[in-house]
Amino acid sequence: MAELEKALADIAAEMAARTDRGNVATYIPQLGKIDPQKFGIAVATNDGSVLVAGDADEAFSIQSISKVFTLTLALGEVGDALWKRVGREPSGNPFNSIVQLEHENGIPRNPFINAGAIVISDIMLAGHRPRETIGEIVRFVRFLADDDTIAIDHAVAASEQATGFRNFALANYMKSFGNLRHPPELSLGVYFHQCAIAMSCRQLAMAGRFLANDGRHPETGHSVVSAERARRIASLMLTCGHYDGSGEFAFKVGIPGKSGVGGGILGIVPGVGSMAVWSPGLNANGNSQLGSIALEMLAKAMNWSIF
């Protein structure tokens, strides 16, 4: 534990000094206001410890990291039937790309690109109003993180709703193939709100623990998902969690991870624990620049690569 504590402190100190921090996402105007100097990191181990450094208790927009939690919920609702409407292959394309949909019958490559996550939102809407589905997602992350203060940042959701033209295009396009069951604006309403959930590194690391612990909530021992499903979700994080940067992240860090344009990354070390890092500046693939470097350093220091 002392070794981990030192590694986190060293990484936070080194990251504070870096000047090349990437660029904060501006296509969602509300995200463009975040201070690029922020850096936080947290690790929640399967034995119940939580260690943090930097701005680990400051909430940020989890954005695409929410796709891990909605995939988990949707699998719980419809099981493997989900895979008829969303694939499981890396796209090799940017997160908001539309091109593959044309030749692939409106079926997105995987649940972590925007198109895939919008289909997942549509699946979760079945039998519910958007408000109920959004409530279910927030309750789930609160339960996983064991923290009832987690909430949606409504300014971010509104900002995305007002400027999400590409996501509207993706949703309408998939609707034309019959791969959305609800009006696109309803599925998108769920999607924009899940992306606007605000969480700190500590809360995210806590929420990811079930994926590192054979699908069980470490404190209660209750099964969140089966061990097989936890493995499968983690495998998709490894192959698809960083879009066209997934290969690079696997190469350099060597663990399942899921990034968001808010600058967060959730990382899973199966059998060991869950970690979250936040630095708002992004690299060319839309993944946190310093967050990726920090996780590479941490995985190296702790020998956590799964390979």
Question: Which residues participate in the annotated binding site for substrate?
Answer: 64, 114, 160, 167, 191, 243, 261
96 touches ligand DON by CB under 6 A: yes
Residue nearest ligand DON, Cβ-based: 64
CB 221 within 8 A of CB 260: no
The span of 119-127, 180-188, 254-262, 272-280 binding ligand DON (CB under 6 A) equals: 254-262
Which stretch in 10-18, 129-137, 210-218, 256-264 sits in contact with ligand DON by CB under 6 A? 256-264
CB 24 within 8 A of CB 281: yes
Say if strands 23-24 and 60-61 run parallel, antiparallel, or are unpaired.
Answer: unpaired
Helices in 2-153 by DSSP H: which ranges? 2-17, 66-78, 99-103, 114-125, 130-145
Tokens coding 86: 């969303």
Q: Does the annotation count 261 as an active-site position?
A: yes
Among 259, 279, 283, 289, binds ligand DON (CB under 6 A): 259
- Give yes or no for residue 195 binding ligand DON (CB under 6 A): yes
**Per rule CB under 6 A, is residue 189 in the interface with ligand DON?**
no
Quick one: 115 or 211, whose CB is closer to ligand DON? Answer: 115
Look-up: residue for tokens 């609702």? 77
Interface residue with ligand DON among 130, 260, 273, 291 (CB under 6 A) is: 260
| C-alpha span between 93 and 164 (Å, rounded) | 18
Of the residues 138, 243, 259, 292, which is catalytic?
A: 243
Q: Is 54 helix (H, G, I), strand (E, B) or coil?
A: strand
Residues that bind ligand DON (rule: CB under 6 A) add up to a total of 13
| Minimum CB–partner distance for residue 103 and ligand DON (Å) | 22
Asked about 64 being catalytic, the answer comes back as yes
By CB under 6 A, is residue 286 in contact with ligand DON? yes
Judged by CB under 6 A, the chain residues 55 through 94 that form the site for ligand DON are: 63-64
Instruction: Catalogue the E-assigned strands of the chain.
Output: 23-24, 40-45, 50-54, 60-61, 151-152, 197-199, 257-259, 264-269, 273-278, 281-282
Q: Does 111 bind ligand DON (CB under 6 A)?
A: no
Binding-site residue numbers are 64, 114, 160, 167, 191, 243, 261
Kindly indicate which of the ranges 40-48, 71-79, 85-93, 255-263 contains the residues binding ligand DON, using the contact rule CB under 6 A. 255-263
The residue type of 216 is R
Q: Which two tokens stand for residue 182?
A: 């609800």
Does residue 256 contact residue 248 with C-beta atoms inside 8 Å?
A: no
Taking CB under 6 A as the rule, does residue 160 contact ligand DON?
A: yes
Question: Could you say which of 43, 61, 66, 67 is catalytic?
Answer: 67
81-104: burial string, b at 16+ Cβ within 10 Å, e else: ebeebbbeebbeebbbbbebbeee
Nearest-angstrom CA–CA distance, 185 and 44 = 37
- Is residue 97 part of the contact set for ligand DON (CB under 6 A)? no
Q: Which residues bind ligand DON (CB under 6 A)?
A: 63-64, 95-96, 114, 160, 167, 195, 259-261, 286-287
Residues acting as catalytic residues: 64, 67, 191, 243, 261
